[in-house]
Amino acid sequence: MPPPPTLPNEILEEIFMRLPPDEPAFLVRATLASKHWFGLLTGPAFRSRYRDFHGAPSMLGFFRSWTPYSAWGEEGLEPLFVSTSNFVACIPGKEEDQYDEYGEWGYSIREKEEDWGYSGRDAWDCRHGRVVLGDRDVTDTKLAVLDPVTGRWRELCVPKDYDSHGAAVLCAVPGCHHRTCHEGPFRVIVVGMNINKGDSVAYVYVSLPMTDQWSQPPSQWSQPCPGLHLGFDAIFQPMPPVLTEEALYFTLMYDDDDGDDDKRVGILKYDLHSKCLSLIDVPLMETDIACNAILMGMEDGSLGFAHLDGLTLNLWSRKMGSDGTTTWTHLRVINLEELLPIQNLKQRLGLIGSVEGSDIIFMTMDFGICQISLKSLEWKKIWKEEYFGALLPYMSFNDP
């Protein structure tokens, strides 16, 4: 009996093209079915078409930024990365014998698992296929930039000791579509804050983007722009910065003028073109309690601001008007009591993150961590009930 006829490559590609990108195991299994399928699905032509077909990368999981003592769960230290798909992140330290004493880029590899995401190590930023890891509780801060797909990473020392730090990782390839930029060079931007008796000063350092190597810390870091005097004492909120409109926006916390324990919210902008810092206003001057507000990168490219008032979610967008001035516009009010099955109305909700360039936000509530689409008002639980400072979605393609 003759073997069944094989389908043309064009038909096979159209079939495999429709496998969901947030379930990378489907494509992996297909590559194991035959040598022909393996060659087809691992080729650059199919991978390029697959990414173009699905557009923006999917969320494969999330990293977490801890609040004090929140890294400890019922069974000990909680993991740094949580997968929401079949993706398994490659984090150095889980298998001590898979790395040499020195990584392929010349920096020593930490062999103990607790040095990666445990014992105070948490995520500062996650973008363009990489995540920045650091320790906010020590003065001699070192940052590590990890590619969870390949397990490759670099370590950088913060150029100078500051009282508080913020950091961002960006692809350094001009015109990149940001679907496979973990394969190319990137840069790290560090913002340091010196607290100085009611007038904190912020500084910026930018690493040198070079193919397959990092700038050497600390002597070869580029010089910072002139420090920005804030006029008040502030620290960085443990929330990743938002990238939109060719600028990075960091969330600050500072004490209320009334002298109570509440924390006000401030916004620090770093312009990627002028390479300078500035303060911008928030839409609600009475905004307090830092966990009640987050910045967002909106779908239209504008800067967004989400604020919780009890069980009411308010959405704002910062846009330029016809007169050339930039102002906040109140977009929407959402009643969460009507949307979510909240059981304990007295338990405070918390905003802990968003997906840049989309309408997705993440919240903590009495039944767990929830992902909400602000456009469709669809929601789903993605993790157990737990408290941490920020959720950093890991967006990437993980095809063969």
| φ/ψ (deg, to 5) at 91 | -115, 115
Please tell me the predicted confidence (pLDDT) of residue 173.
81
Q: Which two tokens stand for residue 40?
A: 């087809």
**Mean pLDDT, the chain, as a whole number?**
78
Please tell me the predicted confidence (pLDDT) of residue 376.
92
Please tell me the predicted confidence (pLDDT) of residue 205.
87
Helix pair 44-54, 9-16: axis angle to 10 deg: 40
Q: Residue 48 pLDDT > 60, yes or no? A: yes
**Residues 202-221: tens digit of each pLDDT:** 999 888 766 444 455 455 55
**Residues 307-359: tens digit of each pLDDT:** 998 899 999 999 887 887 889 999 999 999 999 998 887 787 889 999 999 99
* pLDDT band at 96; cut points 50, 70, 90: very low
Q: Is 61 exposed, middle or buried (0-12, 13-18, 19+ CB in 10 A)?
A: buried
Residue with token string 């308010």 = 314
Angle, vertex CA 308, rays to CA 303 and CA 314, nearest 5: 55
Do 268 and 249 touch, CB atoms closer than 8 A?
yes
**DSSP tag of 328:** E
Going by DSSP bridges, is the β-strand pair 368-373/350-354 parallel, antiparallel, or unpaired? unpaired
Q: What is the mean pLDDT of residues 101-121?
A: 37
* pLDDT band at 241; cut points 50, 70, 90: very high
Do 368 and 383 touch, CB atoms closer than 8 A?
yes
Number of Cα atoms under 13 Å in the Cβ half of residue 379: 21
Q: What is the mean pLDDT of residues 186-212?
A: 83
Q: Is 163 exposed, middle or buried (0-12, 13-18, 19+ CB in 10 A)?
A: middle
Q: Residue 158 pLDDT > 70, yes or no? A: yes
Residue type, 157: C
Do 394 and 81 touch, CB atoms closer than 8 A?
yes
* Non-local CB neighbours of 58 within 8 Å, separated by 6+ positions: 20, 21, 22, 85, 395, 396, 397
Q: Residue 370 pLDDT > 60, yes or no? A: yes
From 83-97, 221-235, 294-308, 313-327, the region with the lowest mean pLDDT: 83-97
From 50-59, 178-187, 209-218, the region with the lowest mean pLDDT: 209-218
Please tell me the predicted confidence (pLDDT) of residue 384.
86
| Cα–Cα distance for residue pair 8/15, rounded to 1 Å | 11
Please tell me the predicted confidence (pLDDT) of residue 251.
94
Residue with token string 């700038």 = 215
The answer to pTM > 0.85 is no
Going by DSSP bridges, is the β-strand pair 293-297/277-280 parallel, antiparallel, or unpaired? unpaired
